[in-house]
Copies of this chain bind each other. A is one copy, B any other.
Amino acid sequence: MDIALRRGFIWPSFEIYGGVSGFYDFGPLGSLLKNKIIQKWREYYVLGEGFFEVDSPAVTPEEVLKASGHVNHFVDAMTECQKCGAAFRVADVVREVTGRDVEGMSKGEMEQFMKKHGVRCPDCNGELGHVFDFNAIFRTTIGPGTQRVGYLRPETAQGIFIDFKRLQRHARGRLPFGAVQIGRGYRNEISPRQGIIRLREFTMAEAEVFFDPEDPHHPKFSDVAGEKFRLWLAVDQEKGRERLNEVTAEQAVDGKLVCNELMAYYIALTKRFLGDIGIPKGAVRFRQQTPGQRAHYSAETWDAEVLTERFGWVEVAGLAYRTDYDLTRHAEASGEDLAVFSADKKRKVICHVVEPSYGIDRPLYCLLEHAFAQERGRAYLRLKKDMAPIEVGVFPLLNRDGLPEKAEVVYEGLRREGFMAEYDESGSIGRRYARADEVGTPYCVTIDHRTLEDETATIRDRDTAKQVRAEIKELPRLLRSLLSGEMPFEMAGEAVKSKSERP
């Protein structure tokens, strides 16, 4: 977190005004990394799955969220300290004090649990009052006067559901088809205390997969049938067992561990995606929510969770079987017929929905934590090369003899070729390598006296600190191959024998 703050990944929002909990900014490196995660997500869901992206407003009129059930059901159990008046989300204050999870319990059960375990106000040790519901949607007013109530969307999904008719026409009647949205979601948390893990405003990437309930098959299921993942079943959680079932997607379907083939497919895809942005496979599990934990619209939910040092298991994505809940509710509330013809054109059906819904901020945090490495006295971010915010550093070896001028030319050239390059001339070359390592820059190009003679420069590899020497005019091609992982570093040029600059 120190590097994240100091080097421009994550900053507390409104910091000069004392900050507001539940809000974080992404600084220059955080924004680059966030954009790369979003780009990768689009590669999976827009390019790969062929899903349609839509982009709808965050401000949402009341009708929509009444129909979706959020106005009534999107609530957090809350309690207030009887002494200092501080407000708490019950699940958070219980976890903070006892390390236990009361999510999914009834309000009465929560009160009993708190009494039994002596949960008191963490701020002043006062007694906590009754548990009551707080609606976690931000409320506002559209236009002048107060007649038109609006909310900030708690999920991007509703913007997709209400566009269903147009989307279905765009898909020319094909089923299944999917639509995605990437954007801000809002949850007016009571008193968020977990940094970037519990935000009031967050970025989410959601996919809604519409299918005929009699045909819950994915045309490319065979591509993932053998993919293994680890499931923590609700029944095991309820019995207090930590047992994980490691199964293939096919086994999960055949053994009826998951509701249908589409769910198994997207669990597998989620596992691949998380691996592809750089989260180690061993740190990922899929936890089935117990019936009490599930959102009001879901018949089955799997949370993709990543193990972190700081926050334990963190939910980074949720895969919900939303059935025909949303389309039925919107059809009723709007009076529009949202039924469509089945593939054989013989039946009319309300589509069912499987929803893979990803956070963007939380995976980013998990990824940073897992990438952080300390070795032989140096700290570096072992980010996947294609995910690094800065792709290449360009340094003059010394601050004279025309080296900075030459390095600037190389830097500008790489930028023009589309590389996120950074120029740095301050401090010793070792110091500059260390700074680049710290933010995960995979390659550094150094301009030295020999460059001025023969138009070659050294390229240094972040992970091994090894160096090769290559022609400047070859740099774009070499760096492209190195960053994509197509070329092993040793093939990029003539090995450099360096003593002083190795760590």
Contact = CB atoms under 8 A, between A and B. Distances in A.
B166 A140 contact: no
Interface string A390-430: 00000000000000000000000001001010000010000
Contacts of A58: 58, 184, 201
Contacts of A20: 61, 142, 148
A213 interface: no
Given A53-B32, A163-B25, A170-B28, A145 B59 contact: no
A420 B426 CA distance: 43
B26 A55 contact: yes
A30 B191 CA distance: 38
A31 interface: yes
A27 B57 contact: no
Given A14-B61, A25-B56, A184-B58, A48 B163 contact: no
Interface in A1-51: 8, 11, 13-17, 20, 22-28, 30-32, 34-35, 43, 47-48, 50
A189 B142 CA distance: 8
A144 B190 contact: yes
A28 B172 CA distance: 13
A366 interface: no
B78 A54 contact: no
A60 interface: yes
A184 to B, nearest CB: 6
A162 interface: yes
A333 B16 CA distance: 9
A402 B186 CA distance: 49
A52 B167 CA distance: 36
Contact of A30 (B26, B55, B336): B55
Contact of A142 (B8, B43, B200, B420): B200
Contacts of A165: 16
Contacts of A191: 143
Given A26-B54, A59-B23, A330 B8 contact: no
Nearest to A38: B35
B60 A14 contact: yes
A415 B47 contact: yes
A445 interface: no
Contacts of A273: none
Contacts of A167: 27-28
A113 to B, nearest CB: 21
Given A14-B162, A47-B418, A63-B17, A188 B143 contact: yes
Contacts of A140: 138-140, 152
A476 interface: no
Given A17-B162, A420-B47, A188 B415 contact: no
A27 B148 CA distance: 25
A142 B188 contact: yes
Contacts of A481: none
A5 to B, nearest CB: 9
A47 B419 CA distance: 8
A55 B142 contact: no
A145 B87 contact: yes
A257 B16 CA distance: 37
Interface in A452-473: none
A420 B47 CA distance: 7
Contacts of A15: 162-163, 166
A222 interface: no
A55 B31 contact: yes
A498 B330 CA distance: 50
B13 A172 contact: no
Nearest to A28: B52
Interface of A: 8, 11, 13-17, 20, 22-28, 30-32, 34-35, 43, 47-48, 50, 52-61, 63-64, 78, 87, 134, 138-145, 148, 150, 152, 159, 162-163, 165-167, 170, 172, 179, 184, 186, 188-191, 200-201, 330, 333-334, 336, 415, 418, 420, 426
10 contacts: A8-B166, A11-B163, A15-B163, A17-B333, A23-B57, A27-B170, A28-B53, A140-B140, A140-B152, A142-B200
